[in-house]
Structure 1
């Protein structure tokens, strides 16, 4: 200690240089208490080969994303009711849109493929190979609108799947379904709704998912496609409620849905989405539909395709 003082007295410039070098070095070496931001929290990752472990790891990653969403809401809100779906182009220009809060952060444990045409009409599917030879493969498609490339792709890549199609605005599947595969398709001019309504006039016949499954003698659907122009909010709310009240998991393994977020509020959409999560639906892919944004500068990017995997219950993709 004395010798150190003598060095400082005799050679002050040397001692000062030594201090300037040692202090930053000690700062870098010595452990300091540091609370990392949510985005840097560590999640152990392993190269799992068994399906159960893959799904569990994907779920851990997704739960981490939910925490990040809560932090983003607090940052820009702080309450969900304080947020806009698409903030106006005025100061302070919050750098977000509604889709930033709902990333497709769940990792599909199988191959991911786009089935159908590029652009509007095609959908992203997780693990279609799991259905390639499945004898009792069942697919429901709501919303045909003269574009059936998705359904045609599913038929082309499986050997036993049958597709039940529903749309009261058209008379059947579109021309993309080849004649050789039509025997694996069934079409009805019905709509999907939260309650049953048999038409007695100009209004279309509407059925719940549960009613249609009973009519067809089905206990389970492997892939459910829904594109019903905004009615997905009311319809999916009723579907989730119906099976939740019975204590049953959702009866489908995978969901491809186009979300039309027209005239909605952020807090409403958040609650609707959280209903999906509570029921076990996890988004593994998303694709914004920007066609209508291209037509008019005043339009918002309020359409988005999402693909969900159901991690609850027994299905071909997670079991």
Structure 2
């Protein structure tokens, strides 16, 4: 479904954007019961409530990228009764318990454990799960809205098998985005991450487009509009 890395290395940026657009908009599996949790605008995510993917207590959800908006996390608690662990180093909020089922930590998600020049603590998913005592606890939903750093984080998750026991991923993808906490990842290195997710068993069941990022693939040749900022939701097929 995606060309080899060698083939993509020869493609122009516009061709890569078109390839990304075509891939991201093809649903790969059917979920009959899709639930929107959180705002219909920014911050909400689509979750599959089909069996066997529907979260049931005592379910666990990791939510990366809050932006002082806990609507998604509260909706998860109300809909499924899960325990939700929220993470964001950028909102000037100290780690604390928010409610009976919601905990907040001022950590960011990345490909390594380090501290940024802005004093943000960045940790890998494996390190976070170990610190919280969750290495043996399956994660029902992994939500990511981390402004481009998904491209740095996911390969490390796959390499350490941190995604093996995760049922669903709901994330915002930022094609060509530089990333806030880590180094820039060019488009020809972002697309293989989508292939790695597919090879790890994850299939896209829902996608949405952020029209703020609308652009033309090529002003001179192709007038087709695409978006470089998209929401995708995936389930791990059994």
TM-score computed with the length of structure 1 as normaliser: 0.59
Equivalent in the alignment of 1:194: 111
| Aligned residues of 1:85 and 1:98 also touching (Cα < 8 A) | no
Using CA pairs below 8 Å that are at least 6 residues apart, which structure has the higher relative contact order?
Answer: 2
Q: How many residues align?
A: 217
For 1:283 and 1:85, the matched residues in 2 are separated by 24
Equivalent in the alignment of 1:291: 212
Q: Secondary structure at the match of 1:183?
A: coil
| Aligned residues of 1:86 and 1:300 also touching (Cα < 8 A) | no
**Alignment partner for residue 29 of structure 2, among 107, 111, 128?**
107
Paired residues for 1:235-246 under 5 Å: 235-243=153-161
| Aligned residues of 1:84 and 1:98 also touching (Cα < 8 A) | no
How large is the RMSD of aligned CA atoms in angstroms?
Answer: 3.3
Paired residues for 1:25-64 under 5 Å: none
Q: CA deviation at 1:194?
A: 1.5
Q: Deviations over 1:69-125 (max 9, x none)?
A: 66xx9xxxxx434444535xxxxxxxx563113334222344111111112211111
Q: Deviations over 1:258-303 (max 9, x none)?
A: 1111266553233221111111111111111112449xxx997211
Q: Deviations over 1:204-262 (max 9, x none)?
A: 1121111111122222110000111111111111111111xxxx762311001111112
| Aligned residues of 1:84 and 1:265 also touching (Cα < 8 A) | no
For 1:142 and 1:230, the matched residues in 2 are separated by 12
Q: CA deviation at 1:156?
A: 1.5
Q: Secondary structure at the match of 2:27?
A: coil
For 2:127 and 2:174, the matched residues in 1 are separated by 25
Equivalent in the alignment of 2:201: 280
Equivalent in the alignment of 2:167: 253
Q: Which runs of 5+ in 1 are unaligned?
A: 1-65, 74-78, 88-95, 174-180, 312-317
Equivalent in the alignment of 2:42: 120
For 1:284 and 1:158, the matched residues in 2 are separated by 19
- Which has the greater radius of gyration? 1
Q: Deviations over 1:113-170 (max 9, x none)?
A: 11111122111111178687723200000100122221121111123x1110010111
| Aligned residues of 1:86 and 1:98 also touching (Cα < 8 A) | no
Paired residues for 1:1-319 under 5 Å: 66=1, 79-86=7-14, 96=18, 98-127=20-49, 134-159=56-81, 161-172=82-93, 182-197=99-114, 202-218=118-134, 219=136, 220-243=138-161, 250-262=164-176, 265-293=186-214, 301-311=227-237, 318=238
For 2:30 and 2:75, the matched residues in 1 are separated by 19
Q: Secondary structure at the match of 1:157?
A: helix
For 1:184 and 1:128, the matched residues in 2 are separated by 23
- Against the structure 1 CA distance between its residues 123 and 84, is the aligned structure 2 distance closer, same or farther, given a 3 Å change threshold? farther
More strand by share: 2
- Against the structure 1 CA distance between its residues 277 and 130, is the aligned structure 2 distance closer, same or farther, given a 3 Å change threshold? closer
TM-score computed with the length of structure 2 as normaliser: 0.77
| Aligned residues of 2:57 and 2:80 also touching (Cα < 8 A) | no
Q: Deviations over 1:8-60 (max 9, x none)?
A: xxxxxxxxxxxxxxxxxxxxxxxxxxxxxxxxxxxxxxxxxxxxxxxxxxxxx
